[in-house]
Amino acid sequence: MTRHPRRTALLAAVSALAGLAFTAAPTTATAAAPHTPAASSQAPAVRDLPEPPDAVKARELLAGLVVADENDVPGYSRSKFPHWITQYGACDTREVVLQRDGQGVVQDDQCRAVAGTWYSEYDGRTIETASGIDIDHVVPLKEAWRSGASEWTTPERRAFANDLVHPQVIAVSASSNRQKSDKDPNKWKPSLVSYHCTYSRAWISVKATYHLTADLGEATALAQMLDTCHT
């Protein structure tokens, strides 16, 4: 049986996430085989910020996106995209990204970042406290909802909201994240113009991976942002 490409991509994302995330200790004897640790203090294998495709590939992916009007589909709620989930030990997705994207990050025994510095790619600010950092969904949850995610299952939306495999979550200043809100690139762009290339490549990559649509203004803005890339 041939699967629909969107469903195949979502199932792959769910499987990838399952390979990274650790939940509570197994409750059955067969779940925890000898020499196979359950939730532990060891981090998952993927620890680097995922690199989006280069500009040439991003243009190909952009051309392949379905361009369609995106209306506010009724029923949206952030709770339909469960986050932040446990990734390993006491560390949830937020804490993993804070560790990944920061410098000199110190975590306490509950995995909370108690020291470190973070450079916000969106506005060029250096933040010295974790409370000043938000973990942004490059493609916002509500944007995903109105471009296809309203049809997903809860596990698929959970995978999307906690995706450490693709360039979907990034530590940025709280102020820039809140200015962005759920806006697409036609309505909001990082104030740091030098980041437009990477941002557009990441946005396109995520939309292509999850087979989400793009409206005409969004696609036009992304093409213009790709023009800032030096290839």
Confidence label for 10 from pLDDT (cuts 50, 70 and 90) = low
Judged against a pLDDT cut of 70, whether residue 2 lies above it is answered with no
Helix (H, G, I), strand (E, B) or coil at 202: helix
Confidence label for 127 from pLDDT (cuts 50, 70 and 90) = very high
Q: What is the mean pLDDT of residues 176-194?
A: 97
Confidence label for 28 from pLDDT (cuts 50, 70 and 90) = very low
Interatomic CA distance for residues 6 and 209, integer angstroms: 8
Question: Where are the strands (E) in the chain, listed by range?
Answer: 86-88, 91-92, 102-107, 113-119, 126-127, 133-137, 169-173
Q: Which among 138, 140, 142 is positioned nearest to 199, based on CA atoms?
A: 138
